Chain A
Amino acid sequence: MTSAIQVSNLTAGYGRRQVLHNISLDIEEGMVVGIIGPNGHGKSSLLKVLSGLVPATSGQVFMGGVAIDGMSAHQRVAKGLVQIPQGDLVFPDMTVEENLLMGGYLAQGRTEIDRRVNKVYEMFPRLAERRPQIARTLSGGERRMLGIGRGLMIEGQIMLIDEPSLGLAPKVIDMVYEVLAKLRSVSPTLLVVEENPVRLQAIADRIYLMDNGEFVWNGTPDELSRNSDLIATYLGA
């Protein structure tokens, strides 16, 4: 197995405030990895550092063996690193279709873009129905699907998904996770961040627990569910 993304001794922060301490992580190709942990402890920051939105202060990130540290966010996207940001961030005044077209920004040729758009519509029939609708008028769940669909348009090698269940009703979360389960067949490697491990356990191969900007535990979903102390301490469940 080759590693899809490899992180070594990564440190990052905002101003002089350090939020990530010496993070190391190795994700093999084709794996689904979950990162869980309490709110505000660096999970999202880690994804932002990986995607280049937030600069790292030290440490290195490799993708398929190539260092990508010096690259800006849009250059990393071109390398196939896709991030689906927290809280939708759809283009609010554009239609569903235009949002998807923006997802295909890097794709070459009209036919290729059409193929990808149709693929997304196949996966999310609901989006196909809403094709000409302005994104801001979509429901929360639809916006989340649009966000994921737009990310799929890029057809990258790795998808970083930031809290896909955030702020959604349980029923809608079910729908989102159905889609994520399907994603396994499309995108080779997934890195999903969640506050709550319950849903992640169903789809992840490996789970990391993050607290105060460092990994304090990692293991398989089964190991996590057997370790009730851990869950009680960190996640208050």
Chain B
Amino acid sequence: MDIFLQIIISGVSLGAMYAVGTIALSLLWGTMGMMNLAHGSFIAIGGYMAYWCMTVMGASWIFVLPLALAAGMLGGYLLYHLVVRWMFERKEFSVDIIIATVAVAALVENGLLNVAGPEAKRQPFSISGGLKLGDVVLPYQTILTVAVAIILMVIVLYIVTRTKMGIVIRAVSQQQVASQLMGVNVMSAFAQAMMLAGGVAAISGVLVTGATQLFPGVGFDTTIKALVICIIAGLGNLRGAIFMAFVLGLFEVAVQYIFGQQYGFPAMLSLVIVLLILRPHGLFGKETVERV
């Protein structure tokens, strides 16, 4: 029984980390048709901001999230204007941007490596201790991560569905020409979407690195896993992605407990591949009709 509970707790923690990752990724896919392989860079930037703020500057934890948000938004703005906008019009954008963002991820990782050093650091924005449930402990950091994941999701969903900025971002993603003809500056709308995604990703980075460790390449694995989760949920489907993040997090942890640590991700990926062979558009994805 305790093992069962332990699996659920670890699974939820892992799921929460995946979930915060999927929010920014499916936002960008849903609005711009862009898979952001540099998502991990934002995670790392968020983590290093927290480290710099608290450990280096000795400032209070209160400043960490606003700082990470600002850094992430700046990163999103730069990524759009330096890279994305130059290839957006291309027919092959969806693949070109994967190659380009892999390069961006490597660039940022290399930069952090040179500035902050290769060694793993403890990121101070974390709560120690946990809630005792019988013999197992539910870490406060997990509760915090789950809570922030849900809050971020609610905020992002609110912005996208209810605010003017969100309506504009959706309009631009659905019909660029018509948006221009309504007086929308398409480039600034995309820049806004990327800033939103960047800010969310950096905040998620603070939480993810708080639960694990901080090193220059920290986000890359999480990015790939989160993208796989987005694909299986049906890309662009935010609620589905979050749900699948928890399901697959639980599955991965269960496999780890039963068969051994190293088989978690392989088993999860195999499950995803089988599911995708059965449902190529994802579990909650829409069947889209391609026009020739």
- A residues sitting closer than 8 Å to B (CB atoms) are 51-53, 72-74, 77-78, 82-85, 89-94, 98, 101-103, 105-106, 150-151, 154
On whether the beta carbons of A85 and B184 are closer than 8 Å, the reply is no
The segment from B50-58, B64-72, B170-178, B261-269 found at the interface with A is B170-178
Separation of A105 and B177 alpha carbons in the complex (Å): 14
CB distance from B236 to the nearest CB of A (A): 10
User: Which residues on B sit within 8 Å (CB–CB) of A151?
Assistant: 181
CB distance from B208 to the nearest CB of A (A): 31
Any chain A CB within 8 A of the CB of B179? yes
On whether the beta carbons of B175 and A90 are closer than 8 Å, the reply is yes
Separation of A94 and B170 alpha carbons in the complex (Å): 8
A–B pairs, 8, beta carbons within 8 Å: A53-B177, A74-B183, A78-B183, A89-B175, A90-B175, A92-B174, A98-B167, A102-B167
A85: which of B170, B181, B185 is its contact (CB, 8 Å)?
A: B181
Chain B CB within 10 A, most for which of A84, A85, A91, A102 = A102
User: Which residues on A sit within 8 Å (CB–CB) of B184?
Assistant: 74, 102, 105
Separation of A129 and B25 alpha carbons in the complex (Å): 37
Given known A74-B185, A77-B183, contact A89–B177 (CB-CB < 8 A): yes
On whether the beta carbons of B183 and A154 are closer than 8 Å, the reply is yes
Bitwise, B166-207 to A at CB < 8 A (1) or not (0) is 011011001101111111111000000000000000000000
Separation of A85 and B170 alpha carbons in the complex (Å): 19
On whether the beta carbons of A94 and B182 are closer than 8 Å, the reply is no
User: Which residues on A sit within 8 Å (CB–CB) of B185?
Assistant: 72, 74
User: Which residues on A sit within 8 Å (CB–CB) of B164?
Assistant: 105
On whether the beta carbons of B180 and A102 are closer than 8 Å, the reply is no
A77: which of B170, B175, B182 is its contact (CB, 8 Å)?
A: B182
User: Which residues on A sit within 8 Å (CB–CB) of B186?
Assistant: 74
User: Which residues on B sit within 8 Å (CB–CB) of A94?
Assistant: 167, 170-171, 174
The 6 A-B pairs with the shortest beta carbon distances in the complex, nearest first, are A77-B183, A89-B178, A73-B180, A106-B183, A91-B174, A105-B182
Separation of A84 and B182 alpha carbons in the complex (Å): 10
CB distance from B82 to the nearest CB of A (A): 21
On whether the beta carbons of A77 and B181 are closer than 8 Å, the reply is yes
Which residue of B is nearest A150, CB measured?
A: B182
Given known A74-B186, A77-B183, contact A102–B171 (CB-CB < 8 A): yes
Given known A74-B183, A74-B184, A74-B185, contact A91–B177 (CB-CB < 8 A): no
Separation of A51 and B171 alpha carbons in the complex (Å): 19
User: Which residues on A sit within 8 Å (CB–CB) of B182?
Assistant: 74, 77, 102-103, 105-106, 150, 154
CB distance from A54 to the nearest CB of B (A): 11
Chain B CB within 10 A, most for which of A53, A72, A91, A103 = A91
On whether the beta carbons of A85 and B177 are closer than 8 Å, the reply is yes
User: Which residues on A sit within 8 Å (CB–CB) of B183?
Assistant: 74, 77-78, 105-106, 154
Which residue of A is nearest B179, CB measured?
A: A102
